[in-house]
Amino acid sequence: MPRSSSPRRRGRLALALAVAALSASGTALAEPARVATLLPYVEDALVRMPSDRVTVVAAVRRSLHEPARAGVADLGTPHAPSLEALAAARPTLVVGDRALHGALAENAKQLGVELLLVDASSVDATFEGLLAVGRKVGVEPEMARAVARSRAELAALALDAPVATLALFGTPARWLVVTERSWLGDLLGRLRFASVAKDTRGAEQIPGYAELSDERIAATRPALVLVVTHGDPAAIRAALDEKTAAGGAWSGVAQTAVDGVHVLDPALFTANPGLALPDAARQLVALAVPSAGAQQ
């Protein structure tokens, strides 16, 4: 007389029969979604998700000299991704930034690939974009948990008192002021950094980052200066020191910056860090703690 099977054995048998039935009917099991991302923070989030449901097959570089991860097609820079490499990677979904990659819609259509454009211009928009990606590729519960953790960590971080802050984005060719219309400006506002350039209006070739004259920047009176670099941090720091030195165009800014002029970690601040926004927030708050305490 045969022995009765255990629940675990019966479960394995049922799964095997289901697979066999699918094979016999000619229906293949669903493969993981193949995603190409033009945003590094989306890649960071997706590699945390179950690999049997989603895989990143192509991604842009985090910096000019930092190639894509091994096994992932290198699409080049976010501003000019390689369409040839994108096509060769055969993604089923391309994730891009609404402000930067809208012009790729026709290219995606010709490649037969779905293009999902998300908004990364604020903290909430960043998280909502990640949730949209999660829904699209079938990892909504996992992505929702990851976003909830980041949101909870951010909610616990803020200065006790506002700190007058000037945030700059420096490149080898120009200096831009970070405005509240960018993810970093929005994050700073949430943390109670008081922008001395709030509501600044200037040319914005990069959305959320305004070009201002040296005179307008020199007229600000920050207690803290934060600098994001795009390019060689050492060269940009040297250029900054020249501007803020005695007799420099921004010497007055340096004199009022009692909490110093800080070049931020490029890994967290050159581009939106997505789920790592709390890590960026902790670094910012740590820089401002002396001033916050003095103003209480």
Residues 258 and 138 in one domain: no
User: What pLDDT is attached to residue 173?
Assistant: 80
List b or e across 189-222, with b for residues whose CB sees 16 or more CB atoms inside 10 angstroms. bbbbbbbbbeebeeebebebbbebeeeebbebeb
Work out the angle at residue 233's Cα, subtended by the Cα atoms of residues 229 and 234, and round it to the nearest 5 degrees.
Answer: 150
Residue type, 234: A
Domain count, the chain: 2
Residues 124 and 51 in one domain: yes
Q: What is the pLDDT of residues 269-288, one digit of tens each?
A: 999 999 999 999 999 999 98
User: What pLDDT is attached to residue 293?
Assistant: 40
Q: Is-contact 218 252, C-beta < 8 A? A: yes
Residues 143 and 172 in one domain: no
Residue 208: pLDDT band (50, 70, 90) is confident
pTM: 0.84
Higher pLDDT, 61 or 25: 61
Residues 99 and 40 in one domain: yes
Are β-strands 163-170 and 114-118 bridged in parallel, bridged antiparallel, or unpaired? unpaired
Containing structural domain, residue 128: 33-155
Residue 30: pLDDT band (50, 70, 90) is low
| CA–CA separation, 252 and 222 (whole Å) | 10
- DSSP E strand boundaries for the chain: 33-37, 54-59, 73-74, 76-77, 80-81, 93-97, 114-118, 163-170, 175-178, 193-195, 203-206, 209-211, 224-229, 261-263
User: Quick check: 142 pLDDT over 70?
Assistant: yes
| CA–CA separation, 228 and 139 (whole Å) | 33
Residues 92 and 203 in one domain: no
Residues 118 and 233 in one domain: no
Residues 175 and 141 in one domain: no
